[in-house]
Amino acid sequence: MLKDITIGQYLSGDSFLHKLDPRTKIIAVILYMVSLFIVNNFWGLGAMLVLSLAVVLISRIPLRFFFRGIKAIVFIVLLTVALQMFMTPGEPLWELGILKITKEGIRQAVFMGTRLILLVSVTSILTLTTTPISLTDGIETLLKPFQKIGVPAHELAMMMTIALRFIPTLIEETDKIMKAQSARGADFESGNLMERAKAMIPLLVPLFLNAIKRADELALAMEARCYHGGDGRTRLKALQYGRRDAVAGVFCLCMAAGAFLTRLL
Amino acid sequence: MSLEMKHVFYTYQEGSPTESHALQDICLNINEGEFLGIVGHTGSGKSTLIQHLNGLLKPTKGEVLIDGININQKEAKAKRKEVRLKVGLVFQYPEYQLFEETVEQDIGFGPRNLGLSDTEVQERVKEAMALLKLDYKTLRKQSPFDLSGGQKRKVAIAGVLAMKPKYLVLDEPTAGLDPRGREEFLEQLAVLHRQGMTIIMVSHSMDDMAKYAQRMIVMDHGQIQLQGTPQDIFSQPEQLQQIGLDVPSLSRLLLRLKQRGLDVRTDLFDIEAVKTEILRAMAAREGKLTC
Ligand SMILES: Nc1ncnc2c1ncn2[C@@H]1O[C@H](COP(=O)(O)OP(=O)(O)OP(=O)(O)O)[C@@H](O)[C@H]1O
Ligand SMILES: [Mg+2]
């Protein structure tokens, strides 16, 4: 189960999307999200669906990665769909006591469900085709202009880099401690809610202690190598826009404009 | 009664681009009362193998039988706990498992999970601490996190010993202990072994293997390359060197002497026996020379 977490996973490859500048990809994802929520009729939603499929194909990432990502949020999707279906006021189609399904409800449910699934799939393309390092580099450069108004761009990016770096380590460690405690007869899989919560103590205590210790050591190691924040730091690989970024950028602007136009339909 | 592995394969992250075949066609039979040593270079699959011995990992293909219980089968789920208790597993760097407020409570975690009474748990804790030369009176109320690395290691191992498993599996238990602590620890293992416990130990130290193991397996790239008594194994130094391993230091000495033309036996591992053998061989040569 722990292995299903795909956030921050990167899959190396050399597709068009892998080669794009991370800044382009981040902006593209933002434009995509906006477009996804601008469209409000089925034509628009259908177009977004086709577009997303095309992007998935271009990325050349095996489909099962997307299914796994969707599996992880299946509960949230179902909950959203159910809430929309039953809570939206309007023309009732079916009624049972206080439960009623309306025509508007079904429409809303389809919209929200599709949007959520598309959102998760396309954002996971961002992380699947971009190494964490270039992703945070991209974020840092994009945030640079906001430094004037006090946004600590470099520090935020560094924090993100570190957090992303340690997700797999923490998952691995959880697995290891869980095994060690199971070998001592700990039971993580049965019992009622209270018992299960209590069974987590032997897992969480070592996990947190190790994480804190590791953070300490990391800080020390960074300081030992004279790390002192972002001022005056240069890069080995400076980010550079290329022709394909222009292509992708124009394409995304067209998408956003198109999304606006479908509203007028 | 025994631990049995029949044509076991294990693959990490099956089906993903990063999959790695950690075990390939492992057949192994471990009898009750044995002292089995497992050696192999880094990444050869030793830790993966031993995690099969108490059902923490299930084979991708093949069967593992623990006293006749097949850990792959559905009904084994009910017996999972039974299996885990039969086979005590001390992980590589077991100090990661410490979590309780005091040393006593931490060592007692396993026995408490067995459902023993408080007095029984206390007895077990005392016994286990004595086995590892940990002083019960001074340490019991201390926090395990305030101990030194080596002491933490011992407390963690005591936590498994306190469960009195029938089979004790240890993954590089002596890594990081000082020479004296290491010697003491291995002596205690030998005592437990004489009392009837089956011991399976992974180690990088060929000297320890030569001294304590009755039978050894040598792993390479997820497969068992050699198996037999330490004498058998260490009489094939070329094969060992080919997979990046070495023979015990005493064997190395004897082999070198033999290369230089001294007629010595090379299958001895005890320092006293080696000394007598070298003296004998030298005396024999002197004798020849004077004739
Ligand atoms: N959790 C895991 N996920 C993916 N691959 C793994 C995992 N654990 C081990 N492996 C891989 O399986 C192989 C065998 O690893 P294993 O830990 O069994 O080696 P080992 O013989 O115990 O090595 P060491 O002497 O370093 O402890 C290695 O190639 C390793 O990369
Ligand atoms: Mg190992």
Query: Nearest CA to A143 among A131, A157, A133, A130?
Result: A157
Query: A123: CA distance to ligand 2 center in Å?
Result: 36
The answer to whether the Cβ–Cβ distance between B96 and A201 falls below 8 Å is no
pLDDT of residue B11: 93
The answer to whether the Cβ–Cβ distance between A182 and B96 falls below 8 Å is no
Q: Chain B residues with CB inside 8 Å of A201's CB?
A: 99
Facing residue for B113 by CB, picked from A176, A177, A186: A186
Residue B120 has pLDDT above 60, yes or no: yes
Taking the CA of residue B222 as reference, the ligand 1 atom at the shortest distance is 14
Residue A4 has pLDDT above 60, yes or no: no
B170 CA: distance to closest CA in chain A (Å): 12
Ligand 1: residue of B9, B11, B12 to mutate (most ligand atoms within 8 A of CB) is B12
Mean pLDDT of chain B: 89
Mean pLDDT across the stretch A148-167? 85
Q: Chain B residues with CB inside 8 Å of A182's CB?
A: 56, 84
The answer to whether the Cβ–Cβ distance between B96 and A177 falls below 8 Å is yes
Is the CB–ligand 1 distance for residue B119 below 6 Å? no
Is the CB–ligand 1 distance for residue B46 below 6 Å? yes
A124 CA: distance to closest CA in chain B (Å): 17
- Select, from the ranges A158-172, B15-29, B194-208, B269-283, the one with the highest average predicted confidence (pLDDT): B194-208
What residues form DSSP beta bridges with B202?
A: B38, B171
Residue A160 has pLDDT above 60, yes or no: yes
Query: A132: CA distance to ligand 2 center in Å?
Result: 29
What residues form DSSP beta bridges with B64?
A: B5
pLDDT of residue B76: 61
Query: A46: CA distance to ligand 1 center in Å?
Result: 46
Q: What do you get for the CA distance between the two ends of chain A, in Å?
A: 45
Ligand 1: residue of B13, B20, B23, B42 to mutate (most ligand atoms within 8 A of CB) is B20
Q: Chain B residues with CB inside 8 Å of A185's CB?
A: 81, 84-85, 109-110, 113-114, 163
Residue entry with tokens 């992380």:
A127
Mean pLDDT of chain A: 86
Query: B158: CA distance to ligand 1 center in Å?
Result: 25
CA B270 to CA B267: how far, in whole Å? Answer: 10
Is the CB–ligand 1 distance for residue B20 below 6 Å? yes
H/E run at residue B221: none
Pairs of CB atoms within 8 A across A/B: 55
pLDDT of residue A41: 87
| Residue B37 near residue B224 (C-beta atoms within 8 A) | no
pLDDT in tens, B97-118: 899 999 999 999 999 988 899 9
**Residues composing chain A:** 265
| Residue B35 near residue B192 (C-beta atoms within 8 A) | no
pLDDT of residue A100: 80
**pTM, two decimal places:** 0.76
CA B214 to CA B230: how far, in whole Å? Answer: 7
pLDDT of residue A51: 92
In Å, how far are A42, A99, A109, A111, B7 from A90, measured between CA atoms?
19, 13, 13, 16, 64
The answer to whether the Cβ–Cβ distance between B91 and A176 falls below 8 Å is yes
Residue B46 has pLDDT above 60, yes or no: yes
| Residue B231 near residue B200 (C-beta atoms within 8 A) | no
Q: Domain-by-domain residue ranges, chain B? A: 248-291
Residue nearest atom 5 of ligand 1, based on CA coordinates: B12
- Select, from the ranges A79-93, A243-257, B231-245, the one with the highest average predicted confidence (pLDDT): A243-257
CA B43 to CA A109: how far, in whole Å? Answer: 50
Q: Which amino acid is at B120?
A: E
Query: What ipTM, to 2 d.p.?
Result: 0.81
Ligand nearest to the CA of B220: 1
Q: Which amino acid is at B80?
A: R
pLDDT in tens, A23-32: 999 999 999 9
Mean pLDDT across the stretch B128-140? 90
What residues form DSSP beta bridges with B171?
A: B202
Residue B267 has pLDDT above 90, yes or no: no
Query: Nearest CA to B163 among B200, B124, B106?
Result: B124
Mutate to test the interface with B, among A174, A184, A201 (most CBs of B within 10 A): A184
The interface residues of chain A toward chain B in range 182-211, judged by CB-CB distance below 8 A, are: 182-187, 201-202, 205-206, 209-210
Three-state SS sequence of chain A: CHHHCCCCCCCCCCCHHHHCCHHHHHHHHHHHHHHHHHCCCHHHHHHHHHHHHHHHHHHCCCHHHHHHHHHHCHHHHHHHHHHHHHHCCCCEEEEECCEEEEHHHHHHHHHHHHHHHHHHHHHHHHHHHCCHHHHHHHHHHHHHHHHHHCCCHHHHHHHHHHHHHHHHHHHHHHHHHHHHHHHCCCCCCCCCHHHHHHHCHHHHHHHHHHHHHHHHHHHHHHHHCCCCCCCCCCCCCCCCCCHHHHHHHHHHHHHHHHHHHHHHC
Residue A5 has pLDDT above 60, yes or no: no
H/E run at residue B227: strand B223-228
Residue nearest atom 22 of ligand 1, based on CA coordinates: B47
pLDDT in tens, B143-166: 999 998 888 989 999 999 999 999
Facing residue for B96 by CB, picked from A182, A185, A210: A210
H/E run at residue B159: helix B149-161
Residue B40 has pLDDT above 90, yes or no: yes
Residue B176 has pLDDT above 80, yes or no: no
Residue B47 has pLDDT above 90, yes or no: yes
Residue A1 has pLDDT above 50, yes or no: no
Query: Nearest CA to B28 among B10, B50, B55?
Result: B50
pLDDT of residue B75: 64
pLDDT of residue B175: 83
Q: Chain B residues with CB inside 8 Å of A11's CB?
A: 17
**HSE-up of B278 (CA within 13 Å, CB side)?**
15
Q: What do you get for the CA distance between the two ends of chain B, in Å?
A: 58
CA B47 to CA B29: how far, in whole Å? Answer: 17
Is the CB–ligand 1 distance for residue B47 below 6 Å? yes
